[in-house]
Structure 1
């Protein structure tokens, strides 16, 4: 079994290369709960995968998805990201986001994203 540090670095590498769904399928648990800021959480892998697919379908140009800082705890990781992309509905987006992941048995069971709207 890979260490948490190895898992988060592999996950980040896949995201950085635009392989978001591959990363999602590999590292997210069936019962995953994901939340954007203080919005209502989305529960379950199927619902979250659908949300990711919808987001990706609306990205017209991805210029950067770069992890800037990574912190690894006992069952938790945190990543500061720099994103730069164009979205069909939102236009050009260039911002930093922090994602906090809780892990169990090598999979993410909870993830929350913090960023300015």
Structure 2
């Protein structure tokens, strides 16, 4: 189970909009991330690489945890709101739920739930 301190450190890191660094610091080497019903991406290096690719397409990113955060043993649920200002001038806003499985210090598995219509830039 993550400590409240460790979980708050994770949230703070994501809110600095350095998602790739959050993965490097807080995810297990064999972690997986799954979006809705897509196949999971597996392995920290793969997750970091994918996140860097997404961030490279953005002029800026704004990330916010919409509280409360729910913890039950090794499971954590966080509601996030993200705004991506893309290099092409479009904006994407996504609100999602993150369902995480932690060991004491690292995220082992994470699944995001969101409405895919939000992926279309405004």
Give ranges in structure 1 of 5+ residues lacking alignment: none
> In structure 1, the residue corresponding to 2:14 is in which secondary structure?
helix
Q: Does the 8 Å contact 1:99/1:111 carry over to 2?
A: yes
* CA distance in structure 1 between the aligned counterparts of 2:110 and 2:16, rounded to whole angstroms: 20
Residue 3 of structure 1: how far off its partner (Å): 4.3
* CA distance in structure 2 between the aligned counterparts of 1:65 and 1:74, rounded to whole angstroms: 25
Residue by residue over 1:25-81, the C-alpha shift from the partner in whole angstroms, topping out at 9 and shown as x without a partner, is 11100010110111110111111111111111111222x211002111100111101
Give ranges in structure 2 of 5+ residues lacking alignment: 117-122
Across the aligned residues of Structure 1 and Structure 2, the Cα RMSD in angstroms comes to 1.9
Decide whether aligned partners of structure 1 residues 89 and 38 sit closer, same or farther in structure 2, where only a CA change above 3 A counts.
farther
- Look up the match of 1:46: 45
> In structure 1, the residue corresponding to 2:66 is in which secondary structure?
strand
Greater strand proportion: 1
- Look up the match of 1:114: 113
Aligned pairs for 1:1-117 within 5 A: 3-62=2-61, 64-69=62-67, 70-88=69-87, 91-117=90-116
Count how many residue pairs are aligned between Structure 1 and Structure 2.
115
Runs of 4+ with deviation above 4 angstroms: none
Q: Does the 8 Å contact 2:82/2:94 carry over to 1?
A: yes
> In structure 1, the residue corresponding to 2:4 is in which secondary structure?
helix
Decide whether aligned partners of structure 1 residues 90 and 30 sit closer, same or farther in structure 2, where only a CA change above 3 A counts.
farther
